Amino acid sequence: MNADTFESGYIYHFYSRAIGSEKLFLEGENYFFFLTKYEKYLNPYFETMAYCLIPNHFHFMVRVKDNCNDEEIVKSIGDFLNAYTKSFNKIYSRNGGLFQRKFKRKKVESDTYFTRLIIYIHHNPVKHGLRLEPSDWKYSSYNSYLSSKPSKIRREEVLGWFGDLEEFKKVHKINVEEYLPMDLLLE
């Protein structure tokens, strides 16, 4: 299999952005509706490790569940993005595509990349000047890690990866630039 194929048991970063200067999310309810559609279309295929939604793009870090094939997953991602676009277009009286033509995906192939990707995803609102701290942005998985409320995020697994909650928070506070993957810093 190649990097352009979703394989069972592997972790991927998948992301997409709006066409041109469009926004994917215009108000708070859009973010929650998007996550509802994600749950409907993609929870059968993915275990979610981290996510972040910002006005013009989104990031998800996911593990592909067993016995899922690439063709089904790619179709479901397309259905998910199309369902959101149709609803968005209806609500805001617009026509046409909302997302860039093809979503992107990258296989997480090292422990270092796993760590850096989680930090990168949670720091996206900070990177784009939307907030000063990841905890200030409510449209990401960061606060799910700080909470004891039930969540579909793979909280225990990821916190275990970092050691514990305190280490997770500490790593998100220290010199973030040195932890971020170079290929992501360029996007």
pLDDT digits (tens, 9 = 90+) for 140-174: 999 999 988 888 889 898 999 999 999 888 888 86
pLDDT in tens, the chain (187 residues): 445 789 999 999 999 999 999 999 999 999 999 999 999 999 999 999 999 999 999 999 999 999 899 999 999 999 999 999 999 999 999 999 999 988 999 999 998 888 889 999 999 998 888 988 899 999 999 999 998 888 888 989 899 999 999 988 888 886 565 555 545 443 4
What's the CA gap between 187 and 185, in Å, rounded?
Answer: 6
- Report pLDDT digits (tens) over 61-73: 999 999 899 999 9
Query: Which contiguous run of DSSP H or E holds residue 32?
Result: helix 28-42
Assigned CATH class of 11-185? alpha beta
**Cβ–Cβ under 8 Å, residues 15 and 58:** yes
- Rounded to a whole number of angstroms, the CA Rg of the chain reads 16
Neighbours of 22 (CB within 10 A): 17
**Contact predicate 18/103, CB 8 Å:** no
Give the Cα separation of 64 and 53 in Å (integer).
20
